Amino acid sequence: MILAMAIALIILIILGLPLFIGILAAAMLGFYVSQVQLTAIPIEIFRLANAPALLAIPLFTFAGYLLSEGNTSARLVRFSRSLFGWIPGGLGVVALVSCAFFTAITGATGITIIALGGLLFPALISERYEENFSLGLLTTSGSLGLHFPPSLPIILYGFVSGANIEKLFMAGLLPGILMVGVPCLFSVYMGKKWRLERPSFSARQFLSGLKGAAWEFPIPLLIIAGIYSGIATATEAAALTVAYILFLKTIIFHEISLLKDLPRIMKESMKMVGGIMIILGAALGFTSYLIDAFIPMKILKLMEGIIGSKIVLLLMLNLFLILVGCMMDIFSAILVVVPLIVPLTSRFGIDPVHLGIIFLANLCIGYNTPPVGLNLFIGSSRFERPIVQLYKATLPFLLLLLLTLALITYWPALSLFLPALMKS
Amino acid sequence: MKSIRSLDKVIARCEGWLIILFLWLMVVLTFIQVCLRGLYTHGHLQWANIALGHIDWSVPLVRLLVLWLTFLGASLVTGEKKHIKIDLFSTIIPPKWLPVRDLLLSVVCVGISAIMLKVCVGYVSMEKEFGGRLFLSLPDWIGQLILPVGFTLICFRFILRTIDQGLEIVRGIHT
């Protein structure tokens, strides 16, 4: 009976049941079986109100929505074009860098392809980049930049796994640069191969681009500096970022009117927060059942028999997480999977901070993996191309990213070097 | 049906106003806290510490606002049918069957959120009897009130959706 209900629930979830309802139902089923009162669920949900780290999520989301309003994206592209436009394949580099920046500040919610794709795709085509190359590049770049502060998935991972959020931010820097850098090199290589025309570097354009972007481009750098030096925690940095962007958008650029636009932006951003955090609440309930029933320990026991070494574990983890990444959005994946695998990986001596970086790199690749990677669908509708063409277009980028994933996974020092330098 | 739908609109507007109010509160209070804490730890100004002491209630308040904003936002998302979900079969299922699937899912949503509502009411009334104090000597259960209220709103939205989808199927059969 119980088994039938569990199977029915899984079928309902992949049919499209809202995930928080599905997870709540799973928690209810679990507590019912182990004869625990369902009051355990609201008690867990209420923990959302007692977690200082979570405050960063609404604040950074709000900041990201503020920033995506108005002409920030255009200023950003103009500046990076004046900076990188002159190198071979330069526009590809511009696209990758601007998208990574945008993904970091807007919290990787698929908004990047929608906001920047329309600006960059025609530009790439008019500079004679091949259509499939341009499609693949823009589609994959929709999830790059996840590793840079103030990325929301990092904050969520930190909360769920208990790893230090400031350390996670630092650990993500080098792997993040690698994941953006490798496709950049590919673009340079193709630019050379195709002998694309390119403008020469102009100091005047650079200065005017810099002037336009000078207020906004440093934001992630300031956040990194603030956290790295220990001046601010992630939450404090979030509060300062919101205040700064509000000041910029209303007083410096006059792009947002306090009475006309701000209420709408506030509502939109809090819908995003509500959609994610309600799943977090449900997942807290479900996780507490899992721990009550010793499920992570059972998985650990089971896997210990199968997995002989750390390398095999990491390999299986990679495959598993890519699979998860192509079915679930990144937030739900973190909330559901992290509590299950943390005991297993810590048993094999994998640092939780390193695990977080691997996790995000995997999910970021899963977003682009056929048949159901989310980026592919967003790209297909944004660029009005059949999804099968996108499968083909993203393939070279996917292979490159898999290569970087291997580096990130099997070279822990790449992630753990910077946080070790941090002041505790 | 019409009056229910206008009730839905009124509720959505109130939720919107509350979101704006709470988010402003959150932004302003955290900003003030950060500034005062900075002035005290880096500038060693005594008055900043004293001021922090005067607004010590704002720390738990802001944390509580995270929960309230979550539920208000989630309720609005429910109204707009934009909850995060895994959807593997939309392109495979024959279009004829999609309304039936949607109705089935909505009925399940109504059921689960109704159970949550009942459980949360029980939780809050228990806390009301035995719970502690929140801040500014407010009782704990006031802060927890958002749980039953939130699930009431979410359940209400799912019921509306179920009715809509049921009507749609009935209409589809008749035409």
Minimal-distance CA residue of chain B relative to A9: B108
The candidate with the shortest Cα–Cα distance to A331, out of A360, A355, A358, is: A360
In chain A, % of residues over pLDDT 70: 99
Min distance A293 CA to chain B CA atoms (Å) = 21
Lowest mean pLDDT among A43-47, B122-126, B136-140, B163-167: B136-140
Q: Which tops the pLDDT comparison, B137 or A86?
A: A86
Say how far apart CA B162 and CA B34 lie, in whole Å: 46
Interface with B, mutate which of A258, A278, A284 (most B CBs under 10 A)? A278
Give residue A109's pLDDT.
58
Say how far apart CA A356 and CA A358 lie, in whole Å: 5
Kindly tell me if the per-residue pLDDT of A423 is higher than 70: no
Chain A interface includes B113 (CB < 8 A): yes
Interface with B, mutate which of A156, A240, A266 (most B CBs under 10 A)? A266
Record: contact B83-A275, CB cut-off 8 A: yes
Return mean pLDDT, chain A: 87
Tell the residue number behind the tokens 């320990």, with chain if given: A297
Min distance A243 CA to chain B CA atoms (Å) = 7
Give residue B111's pLDDT.
97
A267 contacts in chain B (CB < 8 Å): 16, 19-20, 76
* Chain segment A203-219, per-residue pLDDT in tens: 888 888 888 888 888 88
Contact status, residue A101 vs residue A204, Cβ threshold 8 Å: no
Return mean pLDDT, chain B: 89
Chain A interface includes B147 (CB < 8 A): yes
Give residue B155's pLDDT.
96
Of A39, A48, A327, the CB nearest to B70: A48
* Chain segment B55-85, per-residue pLDDT in tens: 889 999 999 999 999 999 999 999 888 888 8
A51 contacts in chain B (CB < 8 Å): 63, 66
Give residue A424's pLDDT.
54
Q: Which tops the pLDDT comparison, B37 or B152?
A: B152
Of B31, B89, B109, the CB nearest to A14: B89
Give residue A16's pLDDT.
87
Chain A interface includes B36 (CB < 8 A): no
Q: How many CB pairs under 8 A join A and B?
A: 181
Of B67, B88, B109, the CB nearest to A14: B88
For range A415-421, the mean pLDDT: 88
Chain A interface includes B42 (CB < 8 A): yes
Q: Which amino acid is at A404?
A: T
Chain A interface includes B26 (CB < 8 A): yes
Give residue A22's pLDDT.
94
Min distance A12 CA to chain B CA atoms (Å) = 7
* Chain segment A117-165, per-residue pLDDT in tens: 878 888 888 888 999 999 999 999 888 888 988 888 998 999 999 899 8
* Chain segment A390-409, per-residue pLDDT in tens: 899 999 999 999 999 999 99
What is the ipTM score, two decimals? 0.93
Judged on CB neighbours under 10 Å (0-12, 13-18, 19+), B171 is exposed
Record: contact A270-B120, CB cut-off 8 A: no
pLDDT band for B38, please (50, 70, 90 cuts): confident
